[in-house]
């Protein structure tokens, strides 16, 4: 009796898992490709470059000041007393450390600014993916970027549908 009961439970579990698998529909989307085609992406790139240029100009001013200070020190080094030399060395070391710190902070600030500028694009893309996925009956959509797939059936790729939903023209491949 116990053996019969366990067989029935096994068959019921197998049946239920088959039903749940049959109910899911998984698709893929190339989100980075879509982001690259969005008109807003050019604006984000331009704003990122402007911000980077501002950071670079401030950095260049610091470097120029540092170089000028080094040149002045080299000219006057022989005439300076030992205490004055030590003070100059200390000041130059502090300036150099400040430049290195500014460079590190600049890289972090640049990444934060880029993330801030890209956030609305990813939000818009996410909304379009959700709209298309619901309309097409998908239960899951996987992004192709960052994931490694052994096989993808292109009939489940919704990239073109999302592009149409966003009103973005699909580029025609050259040579066709």
Kindly list the structural domains of the chain, giving each domain's residue range(s) and its CATH number in brackets, ordered by start.
Answer: 23-166 (3.30.910)
The H or E element that residue 11 is part of is helix 2-23
Q: What's this model's pTM, rounded to 2 decimal places?
A: 0.62
| CA nearest neighbour of 63 among 90, 102, 24 | 102
Q: pLDDT of 28-87, one tens digit each?
A: 888 888 999 999 999 999 999 999 999 889 899 999 999 999 898 888 888 888 888 888
How high is the pLDDT of residue 38?
A: 92
Rounded Cα distance, 126 and 117, in Å = 15
3-state secondary structure of 63: helix
Please choose, from the candidates 2, 19, 29, 12, the residue with its C-alpha nearest in 3D space to the C-alpha of residue 166.
29
The H or E element spanning position 119 is helix 82-136
pLDDT, tens only, 86-126: 888 899 999 999 999 998 888 899 999 999 999 999 999 98
């Amino acid at each position: 009796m116990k053996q019969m009961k366990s067989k029935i439970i096994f068959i019921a579990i197998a049946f239920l898992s088959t039903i749940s698998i049959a109910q899911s529909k998984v698709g893929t989307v190339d989100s980075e490709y879509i982001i690259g085609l969005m008109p807003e992406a050019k604006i984000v790139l331009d704003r990122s470059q402007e911000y980077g240029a501002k950071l670079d100009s401030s950095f260049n001013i610091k470097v120029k000041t540092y170089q000028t200070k080094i040149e002045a020190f080299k000219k006057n080094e022989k005439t300076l007393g030992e205490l004055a030399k030590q003070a100059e060395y200390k000041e130059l070391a502090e300036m150099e450390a400040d430049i290195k710190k500014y460079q590190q902070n600049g890289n972090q600030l640049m990444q934060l600014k880029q993330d801030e500028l890209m956030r609305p694009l990813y939000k818009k893309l996410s909304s379009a993916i959700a709209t298309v996925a619901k309309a097409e009956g998908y239960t899951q959509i996987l992004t192709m970027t960052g994931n490694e797939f052994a096989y993808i059936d292109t009939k489940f790729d919704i990239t073109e549908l999302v592009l149409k939903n966003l009103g973005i023209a699909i580029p025609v491949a050259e040579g066709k």
